[in-house]
Amino acid sequence: MRSTPRSGAARSRLRRGLAAFAVAALGSTMAVVTATSAQAAVTCDVTYTTNDWTTSPGQGGFTANLTVRNTGDALSSWNLGFTFPNSGQRVSQGWSANWTQSGANVTAASMPWNGSLASGATLSLGFNGTWSGSNPKPTSFTVNGVTCGGVNPSPSPSPSPSPSPSPSPSPSPSPSPSPSPSPSPSPSPSPSPSPSPSPSPSPSPSPSPSPSPPGPRVDNPYDGATGYVNPDWSANAASEPGGAAVANTSTAIWLDRIAAITSGSAGNNSKGLREHLDLAVQQDAANGAAPVVIQVVIYNLPNRDCSALASNGELKVAQNGLNRYKTEYIDPIASIMSDSKYRNLRIVAIVEIDSLPNLVTNLNLAACQEAKNSGAYEQGVAYALSKLYAIPNVYNYVDAGHHGWLGWDTNFGPSADLFGSTADLATGGKATVHGFITNTANYSALVEPHFTVNGTVNGQMIRSSRWVDWNFYIDELSFAQAFRQRLIQEGFSSNIGMLIDTSRNGWGGPNRPAGPSTSTDLNTFVNNSKVDRRIHAGNWCNQSGAGLGERPRANPATGIDAYVWVKPPGESDGSSTEIPNNEGKGFDRMCDPTYGGNDRNGNNPSGALANAPLSGHWFSAQFRQLLANAYPPIS
């Protein structure tokens, strides 16, 4: 088999954007009580809100959100209890607590990370549930055995949610297969060390019937919206010569580790999830009628980026990584995002960069094989989709690599199959996926204007050139549109939309070809005609000569929801030399400008810029080059 590059597998990313939760409350209960226990004076306010929907006559589902405010002594741990009035009410999945139910009695015990509750502090937690007959609210609550009583108001109505509008896009079909052989690339920039033996796989979540979503979603969250501007990135951009011209551009917030949820990601972002969401609410209030869309990246799977080193993560499959991912990473995010004050934001969750495609192309690497054998990637993604989909204003977009990774037919179909089977594990199935994103943090050109994949030079097929290497696609737009159609064939909704990260794929400046080459030599023609100026399509780290791409905008092409800047321009992909750190990031030779390459990039130089810091840290020289080489140019 032909070895072909997969530039996205090792793309480094640092900022961990957040996936989001906010619930439309159709009714609420507030209980305020003062009582004294032997250990501490417990005084508490408990607010219980639900969003109900009907799945069939006499039964349905609901999302419950509870806010507990401690107005008494500080607590080192807590246990919330209540009783359902109806025996047909059940907790099916909860977050930010260990939830148990015995008969009609429900308890929620604190987690290790949220047991401390200072005097005056508030706590958000919640669960998804089902009901039959009716869904009345509990009439009393206890905290550590002390009653926080109260009386519920009249039950709220339980309307069925409104469906999203249904467009009728007609993307370009994928190119017709050539009779030439289609190689199956197994690209991987740099093998990771072999991890410890894989533990027994955790049981997969049981598929369940797709419920109606708990609230209305618009078809395209970017349509008519303005993007959240991260003040941390904006300040860095504005500090560079000429950077003020793009400093108010919306970029994504990244979460690359558990600590980033509350303290921000390492490098350039000092704000945690709640701070960013609060700022987004402020921007929304000053924005007039247009809603604000905030992009948040979920990026902390165990054995993360299993075929790379520059952006390895903190969690390992063999060290209880999947359970920690669920309880210490996804659940806390859900707890914060469930705050009702964020319900008017449109929150786009970019789900797990460089994860699932590794299970198609890179099982020759031990860390990827362990992720596959344990089910960690699939179960982790399904868990994230389930938790996020339960929130009415969250839109899940799953990372789908890029054309230089999945464009060969032997990767194209199997990847779509894997995305489908993984989504089927989520509560809600394929309906939990609003769309997909390609080219995240990569450099693949949006459009190659000077030649086509089915063209010929002197009787030789463009596809057979060294650069294209029998790929069926030469740019991201054609790939994203074709892959969307394949995903719909896989069973995803015909309404799904695609995003393309255009933050660093402009390839403008003096080296951008103005037209096709006149050479009759196939490889010379392609090399001199392509706007993607990388030495090899497998090069991914801090690429020399790159430029800012299309500025973010909605509905730019058929089947494309938006061009977006998910990777904040100016944040490094990885360090040029080894830098000791406590961020879980290794040194990948593909970030070393002196590296001569390997068989996965055709033994070509890496094309990386020198003097780069750790992934996610501000890289001034890179930002200045991106600005200078922007296409379309910065006016």
CA 542 to chain centre: 21
Q: Nearest Cα to 17, choosing from 489, 622, 555, 616?
A: 616
Q: Residue 205: is its pLDDT beyond 70?
A: no
Token pair for 597 = 């390459």
What would the mean pLDDT of 420-443 be, rounded to a whole number?
Answer: 97
Q: What's the CA angle centered on 106, arms 209 and 120, to 5 degrees?
A: 115
Q: Give the CATH architecture of domain 226-628.
A: Alpha-Beta Barrel (3.20)
What would the mean pLDDT of 341-353 be, rounded to a whole number?
Answer: 96
Q: What's the CA angle centered on 216, arms 291 and 166, to 5 degrees?
A: 95
Residues paired with 61 in a beta bridge: 53, 130
pLDDT: is 222 or 172 the higher one?
A: 222
- DSSP 8-state symbol, 246: T
Residues of the chain with pLDDT > 70, as a percent, come to 82
Q: Where are the alpha helices (DSSP H) in 207-311?
A: 231-238, 260-263, 273-285
Spatial separation of the C-alpha atoms in residues 600 and 132, rounded to whole Å: 56
Catalytic residue among 475, 532, 561, 573: 573
pLDDT: is 385 or 32 the higher one?
A: 385
Average pLDDT over the chain, rounded to whole? 83
CATH code given to domain 27-147: 2.60.40.290
Residue 267 pLDDT: 55
Q: Which pTM does this prediction carry?
A: 0.69
- Establish whether 256 is an annotated binding residue: yes
Query: Residue 114 in contact with residue 146, Cβ under 8 Å?
Result: no
Alpha-carbon dihedral angle through residues 126, 131, 133, 136, given to the nearest 10 degrees: 0
354 among known catalytic residues:
yes
Residue 115 binned pLDDT confidence (cut-offs 50, 70, 90): confident
- Establish whether 402 is an annotated binding residue: yes
Q: Residue 322: is its pLDDT beyond 90?
A: yes
The dihedrals phi and psi of 557, each to the nearest 5 degrees, come to -160, 165
Residue 120 binned pLDDT confidence (cut-offs 50, 70, 90): confident
Residue 268 binned pLDDT confidence (cut-offs 50, 70, 90): low
Q: Nearest Cα to 575, choosing from 560, 593, 553?
A: 593
Q: Of all helices (H) and strands (E), which one includes residue 371?
A: helix 366-374
Residue 149 pLDDT: 60
Tell me which of 98-102, 175-179, 494-498 is least confident: 175-179
Tell me which of 133-147, 229-243, 259-273, 369-383 is least confident: 259-273
Residue 507 pLDDT: 97
- Establish whether 571 is an annotated binding residue: yes
Spatial separation of the C-alpha atoms in residues 107 and 79, rounded to whole Å: 7
For 387, what's the count of Cα atoms within 13 Å in the CB-facing half-sphere?
31
**Those residues with Cβ within 8 angstroms of residue 160's Cβ, 6 or more apart along the chain or in another chain:** 53, 54, 212
Q: Residue 13: is its pLDDT beyond 60?
A: no
Q: What is the pLDDT of residues 133-177, one digit of tens each?
A: 999 999 899 999 888 864 333 333 333 333 333 333 333 333 333
Residue 183 pLDDT: 34
Residue 114 binned pLDDT confidence (cut-offs 50, 70, 90): confident
- Establish whether 567 is an annotated binding residue: yes
Q: What's the CA angle centered on 16, arms 631 and 25, to 5 degrees?
A: 110
- Establish whether 536 is an annotated binding residue: no
Residue 269 pLDDT: 61
Q: What is the pLDDT of residues 181-197, one digit of tens each?
A: 333 333 333 333 333 33
Catalytic residue among 52, 284, 354, 588: 354
Spatial separation of the C-alpha atoms in residues 323 and 202, rounded to whole Å: 9
Domain boundaries, the chain: 27-147, 226-628
Most confident of 8-22, 23-37, 113-127, 284-298: 284-298
Residue 69 binned pLDDT confidence (cut-offs 50, 70, 90): confident
Residue 310 pLDDT: 65
Q: Of all helices (H) and strands (E), which one includes residue 479?
A: helix 476-489
Catalytic residue among 284, 305, 399, 588: 305
**Those residues with Cβ within 8 angstroms of residue 330's Cβ, 6 or more apart along the chain or in another chain:** 19, 95, 298, 383, 384, 387
Residue 15 pLDDT: 27
Query: Residue 79 in contact with residue 46, Cβ under 8 Å?
Result: no
What would the mean pLDDT of 96-102 be, rounded to a whole number?
Answer: 86
Most confident of 36-45, 113-122, 374-383: 374-383
